[in-house]
């Protein structure tokens, strides 16, 4: 059970920042709120960003920019997103519960929370995305993902270089709308590959060794093996570590193969 | 017979209200100013309460009462909704000093609103003596940790239990010399199969509200399948005379057996008694998972022996069942594991079926659609599929040559005669529909995907023989319309509609002329309730009897008005006329009016009761086609065919949807639904986020057909449909997976991980 | 806090608890078609529209709906009844508890997708759970409804 003492709609980012920093521990920046009631937080000040026009998807300065309040469903429907990166952003979120859920859940909420099960962060990592924070400025997503969650900044948007790279996304789930048991994403630009593995069940990370295999032309299977070996996998109620490791090899290989196919086409 | 309503696809009477979002469910009707009731639950799987401090919590503004173990009657009872005397042990108090699973109630808190109740719940201080729990049902028997050591533990009759040994029930049923028969067989297969404590997961969780009426009687409005059992149990547990309790059942958002056990009723009831105020409780989904009841987890060991030609000569089954912390439905569910599976193969075979049901410190199990038969079916049908492989026989052929024949007595089915059966036709039709000949055992799709097919057959019952009782009253109203009063509980299944179809058929009138009353123990005739696949078959027969009687009464009264001999009077549904002179007639409308005015009034009603000495089994053959990804183990059911013999289909739509829905739940059980506990006894899959029931993208478009036999003891030849449909998916899918991969999974659910990792 | 929420065209100028979810707000003011089926945003029973988009009202802060238009089944009664007849013609409503949320998702889908494929339909509706029906009856109802397009005849939007 959660409680909220005051609920505010800041009208400017500066105001949002000021409200947050008045008492960081008592404040909470709201995202899509899909998981809000699962927690037991007593929030003194809930900061709602929905009136700050952060729900925009734009192609600007050579980047695809996704505002923090863009919903997951927008990623499935907005032509600027679906026409890029072989549609993997929309594809990656398309299994999450259902459309009414994805009309609530947001890019900002998903990325900021850095959940292990997040499909979206896995896909974004492979696309070499950056996050833009109000105070912290623009930083690479992999660095952001690797850092512990601090509630002292506001995520404004996610940026992805609009460089025409090819990409593919693969996941295995126990049921079609479940969190992934394991997820893998790859992208390729001018022969340079990026590989990420998510739901290990820990946070998604890059598989640099797998990418190196692909860069060196060792093939998809070798990349899959590399990803299985170089990363750590854990056990939770969805699957055991050994199974996840096997899946990593398969899914990275398949994603790479899919990407190579697309390259040919 | 030329049928107008029976055997047709009549829409459900309440369909427009339900799809129109009307406020017809329990929570929609709660009176204003109702106290909110919540239950503080044990965080420990096994503990004794040392002390509870509630004074500070009681002072929270708005709190009306906080009850603990010291405040409730010391009367043992069972929550099982079964006919009296219940076979389930009386092993519960409303609140008890010993708590036996994570979720066992510790305190009942009632207050003005949910916020004050939540605040008070946080302020109650409970100190526990934490005891070691027994969580693994395979080690529960004779474990030094005893779940029930109370002195006032009570049974109405011997069910083979021994409290000190954690044994709720045990027994054995046999015919012939099984060991000798096994020794003489050419082929013997043996396997141990595990099924989980699946959640019924109906969409409407448990909820109840209570109030005192002008006579100071306790009124209980609740989402239940068993209003009459509810009334009896509430009265007992609270120490009230039965006439001081009334139970009303509104529309129900699904039950599947979960609501055949009382779950939420007693908490607001005792609050209302103590405070005099209306009170309500609405279970969260998590509470529904963690603190209600589930399917009995089972381990079933099967040994089957056959001759080279496929003749089955011996069936030996032992089932171990996990009752959890309390014994509701423990001794009865286990019976079905053997009694609804062995008869299919015991025609020429010796059989032995033995069982043990044990207590553990996990949530109590209860009734869930299939009621033990489902668990037994997974084991027995899997073993049959393994036997077919050993015999190098087609598994369909193995069944066809061993099935019981109509007219024979079934020794393994309480010696009841088989009076109707089209299972062979179900199997043959199912083989055609799935494309068995082309697809068995498997077809390669590409380098890493293979499709396999598998099958299973099953039977259930139609009500509990010589126990389930239904009464029905039909009234002719003063306007020529009828009111059908039943005590059977429509939980979305559509029984109000199908019983009205039967009434309309017999009274020869349009459906619109029949109103079906909701269930209210003050008004409705007695019915044991809707469970054990009893409603169509048992209550249906009572409808047939009552309506036939009313027909006669109408004809007789018509004859009186027409001044003719009753034997000459014929009632055609609209009028009573003289058979020898059809011009002489009186309309039903006029007759009904006349019957309630002035001299010679005779308001017409007919009441009939029915109890069937036998429980004719419905049958089904299920065929699964799965596609397995050999590299990931992912399995998708790409086709499922169910061919059902439920006797005459009373409502073509509703029977079909029952079958589709039951198969879907069966597929969930086979592949997805996976209740687990952590080492401390905390259930870990207690949300829809972690307990995945099938969504539409998990399922194929399930295909259902009927092979209608005619059951001579059923209404219009009908048997039952509600439960038989859930049984086949687990064994059929397990075999399809085996045929695709060579991996046999004998422990449900069949996950991708088990397939890949072996 | 004070909010102005328009439900089915009617303005509610109300003082609400800050942590109230839209589901509780709607049921409080009598929109009983809105049901709760879970605590984890997984079942779809509470589906309503905010500014025409289907959302889970159990997870949508009522405060966030301040100044917005909310639509429940009660607000699209005729169209819902029209689709409801296709459901009852199949017996697919069964217990009916998931029907209102499901119907709100269906009507939103019809507005959002043009001539959807079967796969697009199941994907769109995947989050609306039903335990009774196995979904096949719902699929038959949907197919017949999409084929007949009664909304064109009824002149609905």
Contact B344, B457 (CB under 8 A): yes
Q: Does A235 touch chain B (CB under 8 A)?
A: no
The DSSP symbol for B431 reads H
Residues of A in contact with B675 (CB under 8 A): none
Give the closest of B118, B676, B751 to A1, CB-based. Answer: B118
Query: How far apart are the CA of A145 and the nearest CA of chain B, in angstroms?
Result: 24
| Contact assignment for C56 to A99 by CB distance below 8 Å | no
Residue to mutate among C36, C104, C136, C137, with most B CBs inside 10 A, is C136
Residues with Cβ within 8 Å of B294's Cβ and at least 6 positions away in sequence, in order, are B197, B198, B199, B200, B324, B363, B365, B366, B368, B675
The DSSP symbol for B536 reads I
Give first-to-last CA distance, chain C, whole Å.
Answer: 35
Contact B163, B148 (CB under 8 A): yes
Query: How far apart are the CA of A239 and the nearest CA of chain C, in angstroms?
Result: 20
Enter the pTM of the model: 0.98
Which other chains touch chain A, taking contact as 3+ CB pairs less than 8 Å apart? B, C
User: In angstroms, rounded to a whole number, what is the distance separating the alpha carbons of residues C57 and C53?
Assistant: 11
Residues in B 475-514 with any Cβ partner in C closer than 8 A: 491-494
| Contact assignment for A5 to C59 by CB distance below 8 Å | no
Torsion of CA C102, C105, C111, C117, to 10 degrees: -80
| Contact assignment for A34 to C53 by CB distance below 8 Å | no
Residues in B 543-582 with any Cβ partner in C closer than 8 A: none
Nearest CA in chain C to A39: C40
Give the closest of C37, C43, C99 to B18, CB-based. Answer: C99
Looking only at the bridges linking them, the beta strands covering B581-587 and B605-610 are unpaired
H helices within B632-748, ranges in order?
652-671, 729-741
Give the closest of C1, C40, C55 to A100, CB-based. Answer: C55
Contact B399, B620 (CB under 8 A): no
Give the closest of A4, A34, A94 to C41, CB-based. Answer: A34
Which other chains touch chain B, taking contact as 3+ CB pairs less than 8 Å apart? A, C
Asked whether residue C156 carries a pLDDT value surpassing 60, the answer given is no
Residues of C in contact with B701 (CB under 8 A): 136, 139
Place of tokens 């398969």: A250
Residues with Cβ within 8 Å of B602's Cβ and at least 6 positions away in sequence, in order, are B557, B595
- Rounded (10°) angle between helices C77-90 and B652-671: 90
Give the closest of C19, C56, C126 to A3, CB-based. Answer: C19
| Contact assignment for A38 to C39 by CB distance below 8 Å | yes
At residue C157, the pLDDT reads: 47
Give the closest of C93, C130, C135 to B19, CB-based. Answer: C93
User: In angstroms, rounded to a whole number, what is the distance separating the alpha carbons of residues B456 and B381?
Assistant: 6
Query: How far apart are the CA of C149 and the nearest CA of chain A, in angstroms?
Result: 22
| Contact assignment for A240 to B631 by CB distance below 8 Å | no
| Contact assignment for A100 to C19 by CB distance below 8 Å | no
**SS3 (DSSP) at B102:** coil
| Contact assignment for A100 to C42 by CB distance below 8 Å | no
- The residue ranges of DSSP E strands in B102-217, in sequence order, are 105-111, 125-130, 167-175, 187-195, 207-212
Nearest CA in chain C to B223: C95
| Contact assignment for C134 to B699 by CB distance below 8 Å | yes
Q: Does A94 touch chain C (CB under 8 A)?
A: yes
**Cross-strand partners of A27:** A45
Cβ atoms within 10 Å, residue B500: 25
Residue B104: half-sphere exposure toward Cβ, Cα within 13 Å: 30
Q: What angle do CA A52, A57, A60 make, to 5 degrees?
A: 105
Nearest CA in chain B to C78: B20
For chain B, the residues whose C-beta falls within 8 A of a C-beta of chain A are 118, 631-634, 671-672, 674, 676, 684-685, 689-690, 692, 694-695, 697-698, 751-753, 756-757
| Contact assignment for A178 to B692 by CB distance below 8 Å | yes
Give the closest of C38, C96, C136 to B19, CB-based. Answer: C96
H helices within A98-156, ranges in order?
99-102, 107-113, 119-126, 141-146
- The secondary structure of B291-354 as a DSSP string is SS--PPEEEEEEEEEE-TTS-EEEEEEEEEEEEETS-TTHHHHHHHHHHTTGGGT-SS-EEEEE
Residue ranges, chain B, pLDDT below 50 = none
**Cross-strand partners of A195:** A186
Tokens of B554: 């109408």
User: In angstroms, rounded to a whole number, what is the distance separating the alpha carbons of residues A193 and A210?
Assistant: 9
Nearest CA in chain B to C38: B285
User: In angstroms, rounded to a whole number, what is the distance separating the alpha carbons of residues B329 and B333?
Assistant: 6
| Contact assignment for C80 to B20 by CB distance below 8 Å | yes
Q: Does A83 touch chain C (CB under 8 A)?
A: no
Residues of B in contact with C85 (CB under 8 A): 16, 19
User: In angstroms, rounded to a whole number, what is the distance separating the alpha carbons of residues A254 and A259?
Assistant: 8
| Contact assignment for C134 to B9 by CB distance below 8 Å | no
Tokens of B148: 């029930």
User: In angstroms, rounded to a whole number, what is the distance separating the alpha carbons of residues C98 and C132?
Assistant: 9
User: In angstroms, rounded to a whole number, what is the distance separating the alpha carbons of residues C110 and C107?
Assistant: 5
Place of tokens 């599976």: B341
At residue B1, the pLDDT reads: 61
Give the closest of C34, C73, C126 to B696, CB-based. Answer: C126
Give the closest of C21, C64, C128 to A98, CB-based. Answer: C128
Looking only at the bridges linking them, the beta strands covering A137-140 and A180-189 are unpaired
Reading phi first (left if > 0) and then psi (alpha if -120 to 50, else beta), residue C44 is in left
Length of chain A counted residue by residue = 265
| Contact assignment for A237 to B685 by CB distance below 8 Å | yes
**SS3 (DSSP) at B462:** coil
Q: Does B687 touch chain C (CB under 8 A)?
A: yes
At residue C155, the pLDDT reads: 58
User: In angstroms, rounded to a whole number, what is the distance separating the alpha carbons of residues B220 and B234?
Assistant: 9
Residues of C in contact with B657 (CB under 8 A): 90-92, 94, 132-134, 136-137
**Of B755, B729, B753, B731, nearest to B743 (Cα)?**
B755
Give the closest of B685, B695, B753 to A176, CB-based. Answer: B695
At residue B758, the pLDDT reads: 84
Q: Does A26 touch chain C (CB under 8 A)?
A: no
User: In angstroms, rounded to a whole number, what is the distance separating the alpha carbons of residues B314 and B387?
Assistant: 12
Give the closest of C1, C55, C127 to A177, CB-based. Answer: C127
Residues of C in contact with A104 (CB under 8 A): 41, 55-56, 59-60
User: In angstroms, rounded to a whole number, what is the distance separating the alpha carbons of residues A26 and B43?
Assistant: 28
Residue to mutate among C61, C73, C121, with most A CBs inside 10 A, is C61
| Contact assignment for C56 to A34 by CB distance below 8 Å | yes
Residue B407 CB burial class (10 angstroms; 0-12, 13-18, ≥19): exposed
User: In angstroms, rounded to a whole number, what is the distance separating the alpha carbons of residues B354 and B338?
Assistant: 8
- The secondary structure of A21-81 as a DSSP string is HH-TTTEEEE-S-TTGGGS--EEEEEEE-TTSS---EEEETTEEEEETT-BHHHHHH-HHH
**Of A244, A32, A75, nearest to B757 (Cα)?**
A244
| Contact assignment for B684 to A237 by CB distance below 8 Å | yes
Contact B382, B731 (CB under 8 A): yes
Query: How far apart are the CA of B692 and the nearest CA of chain A, in angstroms?
Result: 7
Residue B707: half-sphere exposure toward Cβ, Cα within 13 Å: 21
Q: What is the pLDDT along chain A (265 residues), one digit of tens a residue?
A: 789 999 999 999 999 999 999 999 999 999 898 888 888 888 999 999 999 999 999 999 999 999 999 999 999 999 999 999 999 999 999 999 999 999 999 999 999 999 999 999 999 999 999 999 999 999 999 999 999 988 899 999 999 999 999 999 999 999 999 999 999 999 999 999 999 999 999 999 999 999 999 999 999 999 999 999 999 999 999 999 999 999 999 999 999 999 999 777 5
Q: Does B699 touch chain C (CB under 8 A)?
A: yes
User: In angstroms, rounded to a whole number, what is the distance separating the alpha carbons of residues B260 and B81?
Assistant: 5
Tokens of B37: 């009731």
Distance of CA A89 to CAs A81, A169, B242, Å? 7, 9, 62
């Amino acid at each position: 059970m959660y409680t909220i003492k005051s609920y505010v709609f800041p009208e400017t980012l500066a105001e949002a920042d000021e409200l947050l920093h008045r008492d960081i521990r008592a404040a909470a920046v709201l995202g899509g709120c899909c998981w809000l009631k699962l927690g037991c937080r007593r929030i003194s000040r809930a900061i709602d960003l929905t009136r700050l026009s952060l729900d925009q998807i734009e192609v600007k300065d050579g980047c695809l920019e996704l505002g923090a309040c863009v919903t997951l469903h927008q990623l499935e429907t907005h032509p600027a997103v679906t026409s890029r990166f072989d549609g993997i952003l929309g594809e990656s979120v398309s299994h999450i519960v259902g459309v009414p859920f994805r009309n609530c859940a947001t890019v900002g909420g998903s990325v900021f929370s850095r959940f292990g099960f997040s499909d979206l962060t896995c896909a974004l990592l492979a696309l070499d995305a950056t996050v833009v924070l109000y105070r912290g400025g623009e930083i690479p997503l992999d660095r952001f993902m690797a850092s512990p969650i601090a509630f002292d900044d506001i995520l404004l948007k996610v940026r992805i270089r609009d460089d025409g790279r090819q990409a593919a996304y693969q996941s295995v789930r126990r049921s079609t709308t479940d969190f992934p048991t394991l997820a893998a994403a790859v992208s390729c630009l001018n022969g340079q590959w990026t590989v990420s593995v998510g739901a290990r069940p820990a946070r998604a990370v890059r598989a640099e060794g797998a990418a190196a295999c692909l860069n060196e032309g060792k093939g998809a299977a070798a990349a899959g093996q590399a990803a299985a070996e170089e990363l750590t996998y854990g056990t939770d109620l969805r699957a055991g570590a050994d199974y996840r490791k096997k899946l990593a090899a398969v899914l990275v290989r398949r994603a790479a193969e899919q990407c190579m196919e697309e390259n040919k086409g | 017979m030329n049928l107008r309503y029976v055997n047709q696809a009549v829409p459900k009477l309440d369909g427009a209200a339900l799809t129109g979002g009307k406020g017809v469910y329990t929570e929609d009707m709660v009176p204003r100013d109702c106290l909110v009731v919540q239950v503080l639950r044990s965080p420990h799987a096994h503990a004794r309460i040392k002390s509870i401090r509630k004074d500070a919590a009681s002072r929270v503004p708005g709190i009306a009462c906080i009850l603990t173990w010291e405040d409730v009657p010391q009367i043992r009872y069972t929550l099982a909704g079964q006919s009296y005397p219940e076979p389930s042990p009386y092993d519960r108090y409303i609140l008890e000093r010993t708590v036996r699973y994570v979720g066992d109630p510790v305190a009942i808190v009632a207050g003005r609103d949910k916020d004050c109740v939540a605040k008070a719940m946080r302020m109650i201080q409970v100190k526990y003596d934490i005891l070691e729990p027994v969580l693994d049902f395979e080690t529960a028997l004779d474990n030094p940790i005893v779940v029930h050591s109370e002195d006032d533990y009570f049974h109405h009759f011997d069910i083979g239990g021994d409290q000190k040994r954690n044994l709720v029930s045990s027994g054995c049923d046999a015919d012939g010399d099984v060991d000798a028969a096994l020794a003489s067989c050419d082929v013997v297969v043996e396997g141990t199969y595990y099924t989980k404590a699946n959640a019924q997961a109906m969409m409407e969780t448990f909820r109840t509200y209570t109030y005192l009426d002008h006579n100071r009687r306790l009124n209980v409005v609740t989402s239940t399948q068993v209003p009459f059992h509810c009334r009896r149990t509430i009265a007992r547990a609270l120490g009230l005379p039965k006439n001081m309790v009334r139970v009303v059942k509104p529309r129900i958002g699904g039950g599947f057996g979960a609501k055949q056990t009382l779950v939420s009723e007693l908490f607001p009831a005792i609050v209302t008694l103590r405070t005099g105020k209306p009170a309500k409780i609405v279970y969260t989904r998590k509470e529904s998972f963690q603190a209600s009841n589930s399917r009995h987890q089972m381990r079933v060991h099967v040994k089957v022996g056959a001759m080279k030609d496929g003749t089955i000569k011996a069936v030996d089954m032992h089932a171990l069942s996990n009752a959890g912390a309390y014994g509701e439905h423990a001794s009865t569910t286990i019976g079905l594991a053997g009694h609804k599976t062995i008869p299919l193969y015991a025609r020429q075979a010796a059989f032995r079926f033995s069982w043990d049901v044990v207590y553990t410190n996990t949530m109590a199990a209860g009734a869930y659609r299939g009621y033990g038969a489902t668990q037994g079916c997974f084991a027995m049908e899997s073993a049959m599929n393994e036997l077919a492989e050993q015999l190098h026989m087609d598994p369909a052929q193995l069944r066809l040559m061993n099935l019981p024949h109509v007219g024979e007595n079934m020794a393994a089915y309480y010696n009841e005669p088989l009076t109707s059966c089209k299972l062979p036709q179900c199997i043959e039709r199912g083989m055609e529909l799935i494309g068995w000949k082309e697809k068995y055992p498997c077809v390669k799709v590409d380098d890493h995907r293979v499709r396999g097919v598998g099958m299973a057959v099953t039977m259930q019952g139609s009500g509990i023989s010589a126990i389930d009782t239904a009464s029905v009253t039909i009234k002719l109203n003063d306007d020529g319309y009828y009111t059908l009063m039943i005590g059977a509980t429509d939980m979305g299944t559509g029984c109000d509609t199908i019983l009205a179809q039967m009434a309309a058929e017999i009274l020869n009138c349009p459906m619109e002329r029949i109103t079906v009353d909701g269930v209210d123990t003050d008004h409705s005739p007695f019915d044991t309730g809707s469970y054990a696949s009893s409603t169509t078959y048992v209550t249906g027969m009572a409808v047939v009897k009552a309506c036939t009687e009313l027909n006669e009464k109408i004809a007789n009264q018509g004859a009186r008005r027409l001044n003719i001999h009753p034997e000459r009077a014929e009632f055609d549904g609209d009028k009573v006329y003289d058979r020898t002179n059809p011009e002489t007639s009186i309309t039903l409308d006029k007759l009904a009016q006349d019957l309630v005015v002035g001299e010679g009034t005779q308001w017409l009603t007919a009441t009939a009761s029915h109890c069937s000495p036998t429980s004719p089994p419905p049958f089904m053959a299920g065929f699964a086609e799965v596609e397995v990804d050999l590299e990931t183990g992912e399995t998708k059911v790409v086709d499922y065919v169910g061919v059902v013999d439920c006797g005459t289909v009373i409502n073509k739509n509703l029977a079909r949807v029952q079958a589709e829905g039951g198969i879907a739940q069966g597929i969930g059980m086979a592949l997805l639904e996976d209740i687990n506990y952590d080492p401390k006894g905390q259930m870990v899959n207690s949300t829809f986020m972690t307990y995945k029931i099938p969504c539409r993208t998990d399922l194929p478009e399930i295909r259902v057909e009927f092979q209608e036999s005619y059951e001579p003891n059923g209404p219009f030849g009908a048997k039952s449909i509600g439960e038989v449909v859930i049984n086949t998916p687990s064994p059929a899918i397990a075999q399809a997976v085996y045929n695709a991969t060579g991996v046999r999974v004998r422990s449900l659910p069949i996950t991708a991980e088990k397939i890949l990792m072996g | 806090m004070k909010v102005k929420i328009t439900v089915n065209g009617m303005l509610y100028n109300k003082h609400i608890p800050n942590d109230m979810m839209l589901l509780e707000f709607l049921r409080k003011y009598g929109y009983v078609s809105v049901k709760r089926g879970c605590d984890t945003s997984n079942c779809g029973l509470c589906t309503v529209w905010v500014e025409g988009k289907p959302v889970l009202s159990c997870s949508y802060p009522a405060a966030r709906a301040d100044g917005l238009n909310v639509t429940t089944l009660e607000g699209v009664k005729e169209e819902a009844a029209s689709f409801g007849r296709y459901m009852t013609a199949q017996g697919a409503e069964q217990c009916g508890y998931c029907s209102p949320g499901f119907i709100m998702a269906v009507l939103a889908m019809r507005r959002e997708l043009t001539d959807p494929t079967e796969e697009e339909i199941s994907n769109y509706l995947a989050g609306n759970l039903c335990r009774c029906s196995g979904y096949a009856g719902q699929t038959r109802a949907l197919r017949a409804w999409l084929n007949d397009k009664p909304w064109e005849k009824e002149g609905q939007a």
